Structure 1
Amino acid sequence: MKKTKILVVSDTHKMHANFEKALEREKPFDYLFHAGDVEGREFEIEYGSGCPAYIVSGNNDFYGKAPMSVEIQIGTHKVFMAHGHQFYVSMTLEHLIREARERNADIIIFGHTHVPYLEIGRDMAVMNPGSLTYPRQEGRLPSYIILEIDENGKISGEIKYIKKK
């Protein structure tokens, strides 16, 4: 059995040059998760990835049709994804984690802060891919996450960066 490979992105804000670079660099992958602030480019994300794509609405997605959150079962894992603004992730992850636990999720994906974050614990993985368009972390490199789930259900992940030329 092969590993399940997931591309996790967020906060592209209608500009997809770095998103397209991430797609080309990481193909093939099994799932694409976009944690919001697409700003009207949902169609490109859904159909450009060549795999099942899940998108949530962010605080700047005023006219999109994406849901505020999604729950997806991947093997033995349940993914809960929300942009995060509705859970005050800029201040604390406590509300988001509590919501995910109530939904029996063990993988949490969020965006909004534009700062990459990845913590894989014994019973839960929490991640924010940062932003491919407006990164805010030190160094300000556009970022995304590659999440992998092996045949035994073990989760691993890596924050990846797109270097400026």
Structure 2
Amino acid sequence: MKVGIVSDSHGNTNALDAMLQHPAAVDVEAWLFAGDIAMDAEYLEMVTDLPVIKVAGNNDWPMSRLEDTVIAQLGGHRILLTHGHLYGVGFSTQNLVLAAAEQAADIAIYGHTHVADVSIGEVTVLNPGSVARPRDASRGSFMVAELVPEQQPVVQLIRI
């Protein structure tokens, strides 16, 4: 199963449109939206007509009715999806990894830092960076992951 992973669009639907026009996004079957801004996840649902699993980010409080953390089952994997601010990801992903392990998740996805990250371990940790306001490059980014049961995800970081 091919999933798209995006975070931190901050109201920039033009960045989301550019992401969707990238060839890597063409055959994505579902999107994981790691927060900031919740309305952008609704926009993504509307323009793709695909499932969008989404969480609230720190900039969505107090207006969002979204959960801060969601557990999703996709492609034979158990995924913890969160924005990350409640796990202190600006300093370390250790608390996020522990939370994922407690939930028997083998993948943890977060945003918040606007810096892309791929860390392979017992829990694979993914941050797609920011599609609209990157802090690690001049161009925004998103990820595409190929999920196959009982195999490590094959992850591609894409700059738009």
Instruction: Please show how residues 12-27 of structure 1 align to structure 2 within 5 Å.
Output: 12-25=9-22, 26-27=25-26
For residue 8 of structure 1, report the CA deviation from its aligned partner.
0.2
The TM-score with structure 1 as length reference comes to: 0.88
Instruction: Please show how residues 59-78 of structure 1 align to structure 2 within 5 Å.
Output: 59-62=58-61, 63-78=63-78
- Partner AA of 1:16 in structure 2: T
Q: Which runs of 5+ in 1 are unaligned?
A: none
Which residue pairs with 1:102 in the alignment?
102
Query: What is the rounded CA distance, in whole Å, between the counterparts of 1:24 and 1:140 in structure 2?
Result: 19
Which residue pairs with 1:144 in the alignment?
142
Query: What is the rounded CA distance, in whole Å, between the counterparts of 2:123 and 2:74 in structure 1?
Result: 14
Q: Which runs of 5+ in 2 are unaligned?
A: none
Q: Determine which structure has the larger helix proportion and give its number.
A: 2
- Partner AA of 2:126 in structure 1: M
- Contact map agreement 1:32 1:49 (CA 8 A) in 2: no
Deviations 1:69-102 (A, max 9, x none): 1101124210100100000000011101100100
Which residue pairs with 1:118 in the alignment?
118
Q: Give the RMSD, CA atoms, in angstroms.
A: 1.5
Quote the sequence identity (%): 31
Query: What is the rounded CA distance, in whole Å, between the counterparts of 1:68 and 1:111 in structure 2?
Result: 12
Which residue pairs with 1:56 in the alignment?
55
Query: What is the rounded CA distance, in whole Å, between the counterparts of 2:98 and 2:85 in structure 1?
Result: 15
Aligned length: 157
